């Protein structure tokens, strides 16, 4: 555990970047520092690896004051990833990744083997090993940055806005990759961002900081969204926190209707049997079980339904793995107001109406204890 | 065999001997200048306030004619190669100091931060990160310093045949042999062009990590630093 104990950083010009900050960063979890630009996130992160020394207070790792350890030993036990990766432009990708192992005295062959292994882990084509950084895209460079930070298998990973400079699609890929790597490796990750969505997505716990370097709230993301400590946090979370909070409720509990579903080659009897007064439409699936679209029962030609004449089904959601937010989104975007649920294989497992999703949201809120506090 | 490259016996040397001598007189000061400039420039990078005065001093020293240096130095080092080399080394500083400072400063802050964060100490950061990344700027400086040094060596003839190929100029005038003057001028020019080409090759070899095309353009002396480029061109006067 990394304990930050009433730490203050005052720069020589008098700027107080961090003001009496105290919090415990849990092991093997992702702790995110989030806040507006200039609120002291980078300063906080850099005090952990002593690139900046605190003016007051102490930082302890597993009970040991970090000032007691030789500074380069401390740093080599912490991976560090920054915006734009900060790669060594004069070294090949593989030698970039091998930097810390080489510093730790590994021989060249072993360090390079390790670097190759890490390229695979972060999803980099091994063919890039001998390239130079300028030959890589921003997203690839960032992956190299992550691989380099992980090279010596440090217990701690410090990440300062690592994904801020890449475009949204690449960023989402990198975030998912980080979560996957974290599942495998279980590092203690301290992650800095100004993007609250990123914080909520990847953080096990999120520390919201306000200008002047003060901690506004330190809580798991769901709690943050449910119960913001004050107006600043609420404002920072943005207008649609109610919707975003739904990301933390699984869709798996949603009751699915399986009746109004027919295959594309359904007979007249099947169509008649599946049509119910509760549902004005039938969902037509291909022979492979994937959704094709909606149609009113009387418009469907028995035996050979024409997919081109169906109403679009919108994006389906994965019932077992996705959240109520995804289910609601699908229901809202569906032209019929009904969301299509699928399994991991893409086959339809049922359909659910906007009303049913709304009821599930109400009961999920009722069951969430943090919500009661908010209601008070 | 004799003929074109034959030179007067008072020089006690062959033409090729003079070429080698000329190269030594020109290149040893460049190397010495670089060795002095490396720590000096690093000091200027670390202590920002030091850079303007250092630059000023190198420029003033550059403005001192070599003849003035000779007059002072001859009391200590006599009519020797050293007397020729010292001013040449001093002159090279006006190119090297800014080339090194700019080169080292061109290393992106995030690269330095990453190096620090990975546990590279100041010496490792200098040797493994700053110097290699500054290499193109350093070599650009080397090219200017080398070419100017090769052209400046000839002035050493003033203190008794210590000017390499420049000694032929003197003899050419004494013996009224334009051939000797041509041998001197063309020889010097060829040396300068060859040395410059060698440095271009060196840069290509040392910087496979540079995007091609950007580095391919022939850097004017201005690439090292705009201001000292002007005095470099006036060297013929010395
Ligand atoms: N070296 C420095 N000297 C003076 N002030 C600084 C220095 N570094 C950062 N600051 C100031 O400290 C505050 C916090 O900076 P920083 O930690 O970089 O914020 P963030 O990473 O959250 O954007 C800002 O007001 C910034 O201007
Ligand atoms: Mg920052």
B184-236 pLDDT per residue, tens: 999 999 999 999 999 999 999 999 999 876 544 433 333 333 333 333 334 43
Answer yes or no: do A354 and A227 share one domain. no
The domain boundary, picked from A248, A281, A315, lies at: A248
CATH code: domain of residue A267: 3.10.580.10
Q: Which of A89, A138, A141, A162 to mutate against chain B (most B CBs within 10 Å)?
A: A89
Which ligand 1 atom lies nearest to the CA of residue A209?
22
Question: Which of A9, A12, A15 is the best mutation target for the ligand 1 pocket, counting ligand atoms within 8 Å of the beta carbon and taking the most?
Answer: A15
Q: Sketch the domain layout of chain B as residue ranges.
A: 13-216
- Which residues lie with the beta carbon below 6 Å from any ligand 1 atom? A 11, 13, 15, 17, 37-43
Give the pLDDT confidence of A145-188 residue by residue, as tens digits.
999 999 999 999 999 999 998 999 999 999 999 999 999 999 99
Shared-domain flag, residues A220 and A100: yes
- Average of pLDDT values for A58-80? 95
Distance CA A26, CA B7 (A): 84
**Three-state DSSP class for residue B128:** helix
Edge-to-edge strand ranges of the sheet holding A291-295: A261-263, A282-285, A291-295
* Residues A31 and A169 reside in one and the same domain: yes
| pLDDT above 60: residue A272 | yes
B159: its two tokens: 């203190």
Write out pLDDT tens, residues A29-47: 999 999 999 999 999 999 9
Q: What is the helix (H) or strand (E) element at residue A95, kind and residue range?
A: helix A93-97
Span B104-128, average pLDDT? 95
pLDDT digit string, tens, across residues A212-258: 999 999 999 999 998 999 999 999 998 888 888 898 899 999 999 99
Please tell me the predicted confidence (pLDDT) of residue B2: 53
pLDDT at B235: 41
Q: Name every chain A residue with its beta carbon within 8 A of the beta carbon of B135.
A: 90
Ligand 1, atom 3: closest residue by C-alpha: A11
Q: What is d(CA B140, CA B144) in angstroms, rounded to the nearest whole number?
A: 7
- Are residues A181 and A65 part of one domain? yes
Which ligand 1 atom is at minimum distance from the Cα of A15? Answer: 5
Sign of the C-alpha dihedral, residues B75, B76, B82, B88? negative
Q: Are residues A270 and A325 in the same domain?
A: yes
- CB contact at 8 A, A54 and A7: yes
* DSSP H or E run through B18: helix B15-46
Q: At CA A342, angle to CA A340 and CA A344, rounded to 5?
A: 160
Distance (Å) from CA A19 to ligand 1 centroid:
12
Give the mean pLDDT of A266-270: 90
Band (pLDDT 50/70/90 cuts) for residue B11 is: confident
In this structure, the answer to whether residues A121 and A43 fall within a common structural domain is yes
Distance of CA A139 to the CA centre of its chain: 16
| Residue nearest to ligand 1 atom 11, measured at CA | A17
A175 falls within a domain:
yes
Q: What pLDDT is attached to residue A63?
A: 94
Does residue A228 lie within any of the structural domains? yes
Q: Which pLDDT value is given to residue B90?
A: 96
For residues A59 and A65, give the distance between their C-alpha atoms in angstroms, rounded to a whole number: 6
* Residue B135 contacts A where some CB pair is shorter than 8 Å: yes
Residue A66 near chain B (CB below 8 Å): no
The CATH number for A136's domain is 3.40.50.300
Same domain, A131 and A174: yes
**Are A89 and B133 within 8 A, CB to CB?**
yes
- B135 contacts A90? CB cut-off 8 A: yes
Question: Is A367 within the bounds of a domain?
Answer: no
C-alpha–C-alpha distance, residues B175 and B183, integer Å = 14
Between vectors from CA A93 to CA A89 and to CA A99, what angle results, nearest 5°? 85
- What pLDDT score was predicted for residue B118? 95
A272 and A242 co-located in one domain: no
- The number of C-beta contacts closer than 8 angstroms across A and B is 68
Residues A235 and A346 in one domain: no
The answer on pLDDT for B33 being more than 70 is yes
Structure confidence at residue B8 (pLDDT): 82
Q: CA A198 to CA A163: how far, in whole Å? A: 9
Residue A5 pLDDT greater than 70, yes or no: yes
A237 and A141 together in one domain? yes
Distance CA A183, CA B232 (A): 62
Nearest CA owner, ligand 1 atom 25:
A38
Contact by Cβ (8 Å): A47, A78? no
pLDDT of residue B133 exceeding 60, the answer is yes
Percent residues over pLDDT 70 in chain A = 98
Interchain CB distance below 8 Å, A90 and B211: no
pLDDT at B229: 35
- Its domain, for residue A43, covers 2-248
- Are A221 and A261 in contact by the 8 Å Cβ rule? The answer is no
Give the list of residues 6+ apart from residue B88 with CB closer than 8 angstroms, or none: B25, B26, B29, B30, B33, B66, B149, B152, B153
> How far does chain B reach from its first CA to its final CA, in angstroms?
35
Q: How many CA atoms lie within 13 A of A79 on its CB side?
A: 26
- For residue A376, is it within any domain? no
Position in ligand 1 atom list of the atom nearest CA A41: 22
Average pLDDT of chain A is 93
Question: For A93-110, what is each residue's pLDDT tens digit?
Answer: 999 999 999 999 999 999
Share of chain A above pLDDT 90, in %: 82
Task: Find out whether A210 and A232 touch, Cβ atoms under 8 Å.
Answer: yes
Cβ-defined contact of A87 to B114 (cutoff 8 Å): yes
CATH architecture group of domain B13-216: Orthogonal Bundle (1.10)
Nearest residue (by CA) to ligand 1, atom 4, is A11
Do A19 and A102 belong together in one domain?
A: yes
How confident is the prediction for chain B on average, in pLDDT? 87
The pLDDT assigned to B142 comes to 97
Q: Are residue A274 and residue A190 in the same domain, yes or no?
A: no
Pairwise CA distance, residues A172 & A185, whole Å? 20
Q: Whose CA is nearest to atom 16 of ligand 1?
A: A40
Q: Has residue A133 been placed in a domain?
A: yes
Domain count, chain A: 2
pLDDT band at A278 (very low <50, low <70, confident <90, very high): confident
Residue A369: its pLDDT value, please?
Answer: 57
Test mutation, A90, A98, A159, A190, chain B, max B CBs within 10 A: A90
| The pLDDT of residue B157 is above 90 | no
For residue A295, tell me if it sits in a domain: yes
- For the residues B49-77, what does the mean pLDDT come to? 94
d(CA A204, CA B172): 85
**pTM given for the model:** 0.82
A256 part of a folded domain: no
């Amino acid at each position: 555990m990394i304990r930050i104990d009433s730490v203050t950083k005052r720069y020589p010009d008098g700027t107080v970047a961090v003001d009496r900050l105290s919090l415990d960063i849990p092991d093997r979890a992702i702790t995110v520092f989030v806040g507006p630009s200039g609120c002291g996130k980078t300063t906080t992160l850099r005090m952990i690896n002593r690139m900046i020394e605190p003016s007051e207070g102490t930082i302890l790792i597993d009970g040991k004051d970090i000032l007691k350890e030789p500074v380069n030993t401390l740093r080599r036990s912490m991976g560090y990833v920054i915006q734009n990766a900060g790669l060594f432009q004069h070294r090949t990708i593989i030698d970039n990744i091998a930097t810390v192992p080489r510093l730790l005295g590994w021989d060249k062959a072993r360090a390079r083997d390790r670097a190759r292994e890490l390229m695979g882990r972060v999803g980099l084509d091994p063919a890039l090993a001998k390239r130079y950084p300028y030959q890589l895209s921003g997203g690839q460079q960032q992956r190299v940055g992550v691989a380099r930070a992980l090279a010596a298998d440090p217990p701690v990973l410090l990440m300062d806005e690592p994904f801020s400079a890449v475009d949204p699609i690449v960023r989402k890929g990198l975030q998912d990759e980080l979560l996957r790597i974290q599942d495998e490796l279980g590092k203690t990750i301290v992650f800095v961002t100004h993007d609250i969505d990123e914080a909520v997505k990847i953080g096990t716990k999120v520390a919201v900081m306000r200008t002047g370097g003060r901690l506004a709230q330190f809580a798991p993301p769901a709690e943050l969204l449910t119960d913001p400590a004050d107006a600043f946090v609420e404002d920072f979370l943005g207008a649609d926190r109610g919707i975003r909070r739904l990301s933390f409720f699984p869709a798996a509990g949603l009751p699915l209707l399986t009746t109004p579903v027919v295959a594309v080659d359904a007979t007249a009897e099947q169509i008649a049997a599946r049509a119910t007064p509760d549902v004005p439409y039938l969902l037509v699936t291909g022979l492979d079980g994937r959704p094709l679209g909606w149609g009113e029962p009387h418009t469907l030609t028995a035996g050979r339904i024409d997919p081109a004449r169906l109403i679009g089904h919108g994006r389906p959601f994965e019932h077992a793995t996705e959240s109520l937010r995804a289910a609601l989104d699908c229901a809202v975007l569906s032209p019929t107001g009904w969301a299509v649920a699928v399994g991991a294989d893409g086959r339809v497992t049922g359909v659910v109406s906007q009303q049913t999703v709304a009821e599930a949201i109400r009961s999920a809120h009722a069951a969430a204890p943090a919500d009661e506090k908010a209601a008070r | 065999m004799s003929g074109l490259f034959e030179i007067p016996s008072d020089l006690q040397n062959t033409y090729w001997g003079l070429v080698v001598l000329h190269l030594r007189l020109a290149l040893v000061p460049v190397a010495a200048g670089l060795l002095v400039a490396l720590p000096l420039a690093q000091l200027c990078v670390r202590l920002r306030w030091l850079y303007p005065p250092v630059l000023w001093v190198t420029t003033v020293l550059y403005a001192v004619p070599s003849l003035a240096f000779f007059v002072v130095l001859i009391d200590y080092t006599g009519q020797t190669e050293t007397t020729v080399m010292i001013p040449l080394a001093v002159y090279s500083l006006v190119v090297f100091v800014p080339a090194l400072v700019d080169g080292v400063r061109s290393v992106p802050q995030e690269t330095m931060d990453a190096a620090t964060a990975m546990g590279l100490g100041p010496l490792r950061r200098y040797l493994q990160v700053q110097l290699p990344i500054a290499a193109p700027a350093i070599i650009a400086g080397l090219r200017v310093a080398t070419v100017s040094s090769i052209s400046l060596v000839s002035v050493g003839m003033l203190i008794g045949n210590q000017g390499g190929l420049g000694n032929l100029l003197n003899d050419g005038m004494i013996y009224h042999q334009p051939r000797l003057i041509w041998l001197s001028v063309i020889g010097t020019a060829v040396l300068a062009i060859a040395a410059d080409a060698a440095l271009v090759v060196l840069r290509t070899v040392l910087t496979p990590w540079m995007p091609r095309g950007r580095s391919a353009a022939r850097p004017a002396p201005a690439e090292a630093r705009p201001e000292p480029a002007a005095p470099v061109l006036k060297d013929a006067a010395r």
